[in-house]
């Protein structure tokens, strides 16, 4: 659902006659001579701000939300005020945002106009947007415009939108309604009132906080970047500008407090500090009261999705055993604490914090219906359906309504695809290590890939304990083996930090006041030196580095996978192996071969391999031991003349290529004299063959069918493309040398999961494409540029009615649907019969040039009408999937609702010319569902159990 649809879909509620735009217009008229906005470069009185708003309203800004680009400043505040008074919702674009995130915000909200309060870099802003410099609205002539009038706004209209940081590249956009803002501002006036004599420092949460004091004629002061970089400079800013109030995150406030002694704090004009954004520690509260004896400290609990929630003044009274109170919920909200089964918790019992309040809860997330449904939940409570917001916080409510927030339920890090709950990790570390503050974080090391680093601060007493227990010193240190072993008693291996880093202080972001993760120090060069040689094989030392354990803990007779490594971690191992051994490394080798055998293969002479028995005409097939390749091999054996053979390129591994191919041929019922194993690899020149064998092979081959593919979603896009390019170039050169046409099995992964119809023609990568899809496009482009006659056959997932492919994600999805008896809502995807694909590849005649064929019918697999549907998020939690499958689908939910459509006219024309049956045989959806789901009802098909 788009932004405008979302806002209009919320049931309007009655609000007071007054609105925030009206309050701002009244303030501009009531205090014309007062200073309103002040920074080092500009200051505007309320009258000058009113003229700025009128100039803004004369600009052609189109429809829809407006983006404001810049750091918090006078010009940014003026532009935001103009948007609110004009009834135009706005979103803040932070100049530090990655380019992709900034562009995605603009695209997601369909922003047409961007107001800049500072100069953007060349090309930083999307070219399709109209850009207006905020400075152009300064200095409008007095009296030459009509009186300023507040726009009419509905309670459910958005006043502004909050765009989260977007670690996935696609930020989450949260509309905040006029009604919620008005109610929040009015409620807060009772706790933190403002008047025209007040001076308010604003830099953290500037968008959220600046309208409160502006409604009452106060001065807003914006510190410059230099003022924020040091606690002493910020304290000087507070003193110099006689700041009465400022809002901080607890982390940033703690850093600022370090520059204030009690005598200096008593002399500061600071009357009020509001703390927000993190759980307030009791120790920090006590220190604030000691260093700022004349300042009232307020603890505010607020979330964008609900605006404000509660606040309370911090006193010297001791806290309860489990955390400080954040006060009682504001009148338009009600706290609801639920247990893991969605049952209300009694007073004092911790659970999952939810809030109810029709006028405060926002409409949800723009274009995120599933996430909106997950976090804005409708539950049956007290005999009524109630819409609740799930905060993601853990806490409890006392009998008198006091809310205690205990922290996030699960703040996650991603390490090589694994989810790490940082709170859990920090608590477990606290059982073994002494520290004051701690930040677990994932760093990218040049030679080690991703590693988990545990940054912490510790006082002298804590350092002494750590030194005595584990031999730890300040600075960087590998996690001692004894500590790692102790941690692994209760944590998965991947949760053991590779490095511990003792810091003097945790770096804070000067704008957000939270930990500045970009400022966390990188691994010093000294730690990148090779470890002392303990006699282990190089491959063992590299594997130990990735697994975060001593090399002596690993058994060279076992594989990386057998010793705790997964496919995502293996990518890091593979890169390290290639750097150390100076050779290309097969992914399957790195993951599954015993470490000693892997070392032998990587150190043996890379001599060219001879091929025996190259005496008969035939075709060359790659990927014969794979799912599609095996069916192509069987079809080719049936279709080719009896005197011809199929030369199968098979990678050498821990077993002999000839033996592996013979076993595959026997399983398929293929006579052994019809297949010839060619031990080689597509990513080596001449397949790694000696020149004589290569030339003899080229002389015998009449056509090439290229089915081999490196299918591993753990590998990044660049590496997938590089491997694909290397392989296709070798194959194309062989086609030229053999004067043979090529049939290439491509994939519908080159297209998005939704949309279409997609043409049987050249295509280009799209935003968010997988590495696998990008690699297939790279191969297609290389084929098109080669001049080799070729058929590019694009295939979706492939099924075999009698022998399902256990590695196909859609087979796993269908199995999970059968076992659960439920399907995810909107389930939709395409599948093609693997036997039809094999017939198409083998039986076609040589093309004269290049042709693209989408071998996909118009029928899609959807859940049967009698199978109950579940929300996607709920289905993913309940379905019997492997952790890797669940993670893949959670990261790529479009896979479950892949309703893309494809042109297939050329594929159908060639199919009909081949005379191999009705085109509908390409995909028998009803037959597939009957075979895969019938066991749900009758449990009679052993192949499906």
When pLDDT is cut at 50, 70 and 90, the band that residue 901 belongs to is very high
Half-sphere exposure of 666 (CA within 13 A, CB side): 6
DSSP type of residue 508: B
C-beta separation of 301 from 405 below 8 A: yes
Q: Name the more confident of 17 and 12.
A: 17
Q: What is the percent of the chain with per-residue pLDDT over 90, rounded to a whole number?
A: 45
Residue, of 340 and 9, whose pLDDT is higher: 340
Phi, psi of 874 (to 5 degrees): -65, -40
pLDDT tens, 169-179? 467 899 999 99
Q: Is the pLDDT of residue 720 over 80?
A: no
State how far the alpha carbon of 45 is from the alpha carbons of 30, 145, 529, in Å: 12, 17, 60
Strand partners, 421: 412
Rounded to an integer, what distance in angstroms lies between the CA atom of residue 613 and that of residue 678? 10
Q: What is the mean pLDDT of residues 227-251?
A: 84
The string of pLDDT tens digits covering residues 181-220 is 999 999 999 999 999 999 999 976 667 789 999 999 999 9
- List beta partners, residue 389: 355, 376
Task: Please say if the pLDDT value at position 853 is more than 90.
Answer: yes
Cα(645)–Cα(665) distance, integer angstroms: 13
d(CA 25, CA 43): 19
What tens digit of pLDDT does each residue of 904-936 get?
999 999 999 998 889 999 999 989 998 888 644
Mean pLDDT of 701-718: 72
- Among candidates 302, 936, 841, which has minimal Cα distance to 621? 841
Q: How far apart are CA 797 and CA 831, in angstroms?
A: 5
Dist. CA 495–CA 429, nearest whole Å = 10
Average the pLDDT over 830-845 and give the result: 93
**pLDDT the model gives residue 84:** 96
Beta-bridged to residue 747, according to DSSP, are 795
Reported as a pLDDT band with limits 50, 70 and 90, residue 316 is confident
Q: Is the pLDDT of residue 943 over 60?
A: no
The answer to whether 911 touches 901, Cβ cutoff 8 Å, is no
SS3 call for 937: helix
Lowest average pLDDT, out of 348-352, 512-516, 555-559, 764-768, goes to 512-516
User: Residue 445: pLDDT above 80?
Assistant: no
Per-residue pLDDT of 65-118, as tens digits, reads 999 999 889 999 999 999 999 999 999 998 877 677 788 899 999 999 999 998
What is the chain's mean pLDDT, rounded?
Answer: 84
Q: Is the pLDDT of residue 734 over 80?
A: yes
Q: Indicate the pLDDT class of residue 535, thresholds 50, 70 and 90.
A: confident
3-state secondary structure 753-793: CCCCCECCCCCCCCCCCCHHHHHHHHHHHHHHHHCCCEEEE
Lowest mean pLDDT among 45-49, 110-114, 727-731: 727-731
As a whole number of angstroms, the distance between CA 439 and CA 422 comes to 8
Query: Does 891 score more than 80 pLDDT?
Result: no
Instruction: State how far the Cα of 674 lies from the Cα of 613, in Å rounded to an integer.
Output: 11
Q: What is the pLDDT of residue 446?
A: 55
**CA dihedral sign, ordered 175, 178, 182, 185:** positive
The C-alpha torsion from 424 through 428 and 430 to 433, rounded to 10°, is -140
Cα separation of 437 and 456, whole Å? 6
Output helix, strand, coil percentages for the chain, rounded to the nearest 5: 40, 20, 40
DSSP secondary structure string, 536-589?
--HHHHHHHHHHTS-GGGS-TTSBTTTTT--HHHHHHHHHHHHHHH-S---HHH
Encode pLDDT of 781-795 as tens digits. 989 988 899 999 999
Q: Tens of pLDDT along 541-590?
A: 888 877 767 788 788 888 887 776 765 566 667 767 877 887 767 666 78
């Amino acid at each position: 659902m788009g932004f405008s649809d979302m806002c209009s879909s919320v049931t309007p509620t009655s609000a007071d006659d007054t609105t925030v735009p009206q309050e701002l217009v009244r303030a501009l008229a009531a205090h014309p001579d007062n200073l309103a906005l002040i920074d080092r470069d500009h200051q505007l009185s309320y009258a000058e701000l009113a003229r700025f708003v009128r100039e803004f309203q004369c600009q052609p800004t189109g429809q829809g939300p407006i983006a404001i680009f810049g750091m918090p400043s006078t010009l940014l505040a003026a532009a935001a005020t103009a948007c609110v008074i004009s009834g135009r919702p706005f979103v803040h674009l932070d100049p530090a945002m990655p380019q992709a995130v900034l562009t995605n915000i603009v695209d997601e909200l369909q922003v047409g106009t961007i107001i800049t309060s500072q100069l953007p870099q060349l090309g930083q802003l999307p070219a399709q947007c109209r850009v207006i410099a905020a400075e152009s609205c300064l200095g409008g002539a007095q009296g030459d415009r009509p009186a300023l009038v507040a726009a009419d706004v509905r309670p459910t209209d958005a006043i502004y939108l909050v765009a989260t940081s977007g670690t996935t590249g696609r930020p989450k956009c949260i509309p905040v309604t006029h009604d919620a803002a008005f109610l929040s501002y009015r409620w807060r006036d009772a706790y933190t009132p403002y008047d025209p004599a007040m001076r308010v420092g604003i830099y953290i949460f500037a968008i959220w906080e600046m309208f409160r004091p502006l409604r009452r004629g106060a001065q807003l002061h914006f510190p410059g970047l230099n003022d924020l970089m040091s606690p002493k400079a910020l304290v000087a800013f507070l003193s110099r500008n006689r700041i009465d109030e400022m809002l901080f995150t607890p982390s940033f406030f703690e850093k600022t407090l370090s520059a204030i002694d009690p005598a200096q704090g008593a002399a500061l004009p600071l009357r009020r500090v509001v703390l927000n954004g993190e759980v307030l520690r009791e120790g920090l509260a006590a220190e604030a009261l000691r260093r700022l004896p004349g300042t009232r400290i307020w603890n505010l609990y607020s979330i964008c999705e609900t605006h404000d929630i509660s606040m309370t003044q911090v006193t010297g009274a001791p806290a309860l055993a489990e955390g400080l109170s954040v006060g009682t919920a504001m009148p338009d909200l009600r706290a609801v604490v639920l247990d893991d089964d969605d049952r209300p918790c009694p007073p004092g019992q911790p659970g999952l914090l939810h809030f109810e309040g029709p006028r405060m809860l926002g409409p949800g997330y723009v274009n995120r219906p599933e996430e909106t449904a997950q976090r804005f939940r409708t539950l049956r409570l007290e005999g009524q359906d109630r819409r609740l917001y799930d905060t993601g916080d853990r806490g409890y409510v006392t009998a008198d309504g006091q809310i205690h927030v205990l922290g996030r339920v699960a703040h996650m890090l991603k390490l090589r695809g694994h989810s790490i709950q940082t709170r859990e990790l920090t608590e477990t570390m606290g059982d073994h290590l002494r520290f004051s503050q701690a930040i677990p974080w994932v760093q990218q090391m040049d030679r080690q890939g991703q590693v988990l680093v545990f940054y912490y601060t510790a006082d002298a007493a804590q350092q002494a304990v750590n030194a005595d227990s584990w031999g730890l010193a300040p600075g960087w240190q590998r996690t001692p083996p004894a500590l790692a072993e102790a941690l692994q008693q209760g944590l998965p291996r991947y949760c053991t930090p590779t490095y511990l880093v003792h810091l003097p202080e945790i770096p804070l972001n000067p704008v957000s006041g939270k930990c500045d993760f970009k400022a966390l120090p990188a691994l010093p060069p000294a730690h990148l030196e090779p470890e002392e040689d303990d006699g282990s094989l190089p491959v063992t030392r590299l594997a130990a580095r990735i697994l975060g354990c001593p090399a002596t803990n690993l058994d060279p007779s076992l594989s990386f996978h057998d010793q705790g490594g997964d496919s995502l971690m293996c990518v890091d191992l593979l890169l390290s192996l290639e750097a150390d051994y100076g050779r290309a490394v097969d992914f399957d080798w790195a993951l599954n071969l015993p470490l000693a055998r892997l070392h032998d293969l990587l150190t043996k002479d890379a001599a060219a391999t001879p091929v025996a028995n190259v005496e008969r005409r035939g075709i060359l097939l790659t990927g014969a031991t794979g799912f599609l390749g095996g069916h192509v091999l069987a079809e080719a054996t049936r279709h080719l003349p009896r005197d011809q053979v199929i030369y199968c390129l098979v990678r050498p591994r821990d077993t002999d290529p000839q033996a592996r191919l013979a076993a595959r041929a026997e399983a398929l019922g293929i006579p052994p004299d019809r297949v010839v194993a060619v031990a080689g690899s597509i990513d080596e020149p001449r397949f790694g063959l000696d020149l004589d064998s290569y030339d003899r092979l080229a002389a015998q081959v009449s056509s090439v069918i290229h089915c081999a593919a490196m299918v591993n979603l753990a590998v990044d896009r660049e590496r997938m493309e590089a491997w694909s390019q290397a392989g296709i170039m070798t194959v194309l050169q062989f086609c030229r040398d053999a004067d043979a046409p090529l049939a290439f099995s491509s994939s519908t992964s080159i297209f998005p999961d939704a949309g279409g119809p997609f043409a049987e023609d050249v295509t280009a990568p799209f935003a968010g494409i997988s590495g696998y899809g990008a690699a297939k496009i790279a191969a297609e482009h290389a084929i098109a540029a080669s001049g080799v006659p070729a058929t590019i056959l694009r295939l979706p997932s492939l099924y075999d009615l009698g022998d399902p492919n256990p590695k196909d994600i859609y087979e796993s999805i269908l199995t999970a649907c059968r076992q659960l008896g439920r399907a995810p809502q909107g389930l939709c995807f395409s599948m093609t019969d693997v036997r039809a694909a094999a017939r198409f590849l083998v039986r076609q005649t040589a093309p004269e040039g290049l042709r693209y064929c989408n071998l996909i019918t118009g029928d899609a697999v959807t859940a049967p009408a009698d199978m109950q549907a579940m929300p996607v998020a709920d289905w993913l939690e309940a379905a019997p999937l492997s952790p890797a499958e669940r993670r893949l689908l959670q990261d790529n939910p479009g896979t479950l609702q892949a309703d893309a459509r494809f042109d297939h006219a050329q594929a159908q024309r060639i199919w009909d010319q081949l005379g191999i049956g009705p085109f509908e045989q390409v995909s028998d959806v009803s037959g597939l569902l009957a075979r895969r789901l019938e066991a749900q009802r009758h449990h009679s098909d052993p192949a499906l159990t």
